[in-house]
């Protein structure tokens, strides 16, 4: 079989299995990568360099420091204070969602949900209410804000690696407001949706403080990491290596600190990291790399360009809303990895600034995952935590919040990017 056909068959098979067996996605991605090399659709050398090692360093390092940050109980402690100061239950819930969004801009989404979930569950028990809607709100808030910064979530890291965008570029890129402000506008509009959903809870709530901060050191490490990532952009302007090295170094420092102070073994600390997503990302880089090297990305880009013709607005709208629909059911990481080069080629063919299509793609892929309980890893984790508490989340229950939240956030972000970058 020709390498080009082999790459396409394995790509389609892998992506189909991602949908059917989402819990086995890492195994599928690695198996697909191995088959590509064995079938000589891609050489071992090309497969190795298809992996963006800078992005992998950012992801693994951030996971390590986020885990130690969570163990310090600082986020839970801050959440308790916020809830206690809230004037009513609705504002307590919304405050938790705001805190979730803030943490998620700098910490991976799944870790953010695990950090904030205990407070939400404690609040629900105290009020004797079903925690389902609150947990769904936390998950979708996490997914939304994860797109705001370079280190918020894997899709942002993928975009940063592909477009050579550094930490600061997510705030201002080429002299214009960047993706951060688009996401924040979407958050502001979707916040109104959440207020409407929870507005019936007018009663005042008071939590009995139970959280005690174990150490502020992980918080200082996280803040230092963010500052260094911003500074590193002046030295590694091509986003090639420095950010990943800094994140790995801080991750190791965090694990060593945890070992020395809390006597937690390095093996235990390493074991607690999200290796499933780590290997999944590596496999996706190789599978998409094979598709790109064999010319299929160019074929798809040419087809889409022919369909939309010279209508830039139609092309932009199609990219955003096709991404929203597909990401509701397909993991946004493989989808974004496959579509980034397509968006870049389409931009070049239409003679427009690439950020218009690239930012639209990130918005659609990241926020679209909020529509269903299987659209994003944070959603799956939130539903899993609810199941442990005895609450089964149906598709319809999730979508009652997910659809209006997603529509509001996407519409605002979509318009912002169009008016700034068209």
Global pTM value = 0.77
**Confidence label for 405 from pLDDT (cuts 50, 70 and 90):** very high
Q: How far apart are CA 350 and CA 97, in angstroms?
A: 40
Q: At residue 331, does pLDDT exceed 70? A: no
Quick one: average pLDDT of 122-141? 82
The mean of the pLDDT values for the chain is 83
CA distance 271 to 268: 5
Complete DSSP assignment for 69-125: HHHTTHHHHHHHHHHHH-SSHHHHHHHHHHHHHHHHTTS-HHHHHHHHHHHHHHHHH
The pLDDT assigned to 129 comes to: 76
Model confidence at 238: pLDDT above 80:
no
Mean pLDDT comparison of 92-106, 122-136, 231-245, 257-271, highest-scoring range: 92-106
Q: Cα separation of 318 and 8, whole Å? A: 23
What band does 185 get if pLDDT is binned at 50, 70 and 90?
very high
At residue 416, the pLDDT reads: 96
Between the CA atoms of 249, 255, 256 and 258, what dihedral angle is there, to the nearest 10 degrees?
Answer: 140
3-class secondary structure, 216: coil
Beta bridge partners of 172: 177
pLDDT in tens, 196-234: 988 887 766 666 666 678 888 888 988 888 788 777 766
Pull the structure tokens for residue 351: 């003679």
Query: 203 exposed, middle or buried (CB, 10 Å; 0-12, 13-18, 19+)?
Result: exposed
CA distance 209 to 212: 8
Q: Are 55 and 152 in contact (CB under 8 A)?
A: no
pLDDT digits (tens, 9 = 90+) for 19-72: 788 778 789 889 999 999 999 888 999 889 888 787 788 778 877 887 788 778
So what's the pLDDT on residue 205? 64
Q: Which tokens sit at 165?
A: 């965008």
Q: 207 or 283: whose pLDDT is higher?
A: 283
Question: Among 7-16, 170-179, 235-244, 334-343, where is mean pLDDT lowest?
Answer: 235-244
Give the C-alpha separation, 46 to 17, whole Å: 24
Per-residue pLDDT tens for 10-29?
A: 988 987 887 788 778 789 88
End-to-end CA distance of the chain: 43
Q: Tokens 């924040």 — which residue?
A: 184
The predicted structure's pLDDT at residue 305: 75
Q: At what angle do helices 89-104 and 109-127 cross, to 10 degrees?
A: 170
pLDDT of 237 > 70? The answer is no
Q: Pick from 80-84, 120-124, 229-233, 348-352 the range whose average pLDDT is largest.
A: 348-352
Asked if residue 191 has pLDDT above 80, the reply is: yes
């Amino acid at each position: 079989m020709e390498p080009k056909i082999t790459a396409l068959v394995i790509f389609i098979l892998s992506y189909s299995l991602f949908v059917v067996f989402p819990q086995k996605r890492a195994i599928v991605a690695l198996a697909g990568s191995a088959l590509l090399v064995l079938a000589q659709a891609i050489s071992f050398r090309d497969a190795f360099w298809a992996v963006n090692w800078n992005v992998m360093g950012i992801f693994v390092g951030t996971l390590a420091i986020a885990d130690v940050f969570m163990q310090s109980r600082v986020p839970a402690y801050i959440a308790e204070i916020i809830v206690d100061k809230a004037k009513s239950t609705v504002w307590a819930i919304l405050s938790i969602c705001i805190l979730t969004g803030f943490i998620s801009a700098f910490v991976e989404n799944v870790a953010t949900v695990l950090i904030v979930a205990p407070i939400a569950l404690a609040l629900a028990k105290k009020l004797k209410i079903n925690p389902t809607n609150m947990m769904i709100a936390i998950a979708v808030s996490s997914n939304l804000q994860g797109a705001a910064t370079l280190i918020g979530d894997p899709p942002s890291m993928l975009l940063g690696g592909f477009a050579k965008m550094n930490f600061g570029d997510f705030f201002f890129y080429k002299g214009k407001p960047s993706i951060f402000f688009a996401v924040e506008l979407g958050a502001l509009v979707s916040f109104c949706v959440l207020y409407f959903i929870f507005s019936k809870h007018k009663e005042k709530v008071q939590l009995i403080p139970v959280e005690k901060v174990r150490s502020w050191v992980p918080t200082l490490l996280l803040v230092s990491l963010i500052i260094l990532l911003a500074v590193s952009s002046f030295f590694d302007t091509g986003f090639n290596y420095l950010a990943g090295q800094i994140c790995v170094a801080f991750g190791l420092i965090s694990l060593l600190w945890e070992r020395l102070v809390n006597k937690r073994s390095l093996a235990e600390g390493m074991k607690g990291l999200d290796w499933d997503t780590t290997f999944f990302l590596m496999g996706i880089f190789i599978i998409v790399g094979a598709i790109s090297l064999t010319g299929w990305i160019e074929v798809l880009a040419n087809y889409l360009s022919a369909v939309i013709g010279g209508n830039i607005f139609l092309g932009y709208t199609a990219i955003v809303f096709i991404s929203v629909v597909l990401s509701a059911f397909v993991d946004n990481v493989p989808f974004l990895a496959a579509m980034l080069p397509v968006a870049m080629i389409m931009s070049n063919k239409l003679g427009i600034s690439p950020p218009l299509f690239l930012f639209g793609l990130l918005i659609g892929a990241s926020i679209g995952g909020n529509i269903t309980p299987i659209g994003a890893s944070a959603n799956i984790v939130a539903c899993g935590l609810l199941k442990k508490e005895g609450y089964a989340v149906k598709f319809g229950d999730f979508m009652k919040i997910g659809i209006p939240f997603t529509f509001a956030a996407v519409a605002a972000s979509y318009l912002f990017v169009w008016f700034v970058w068209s």
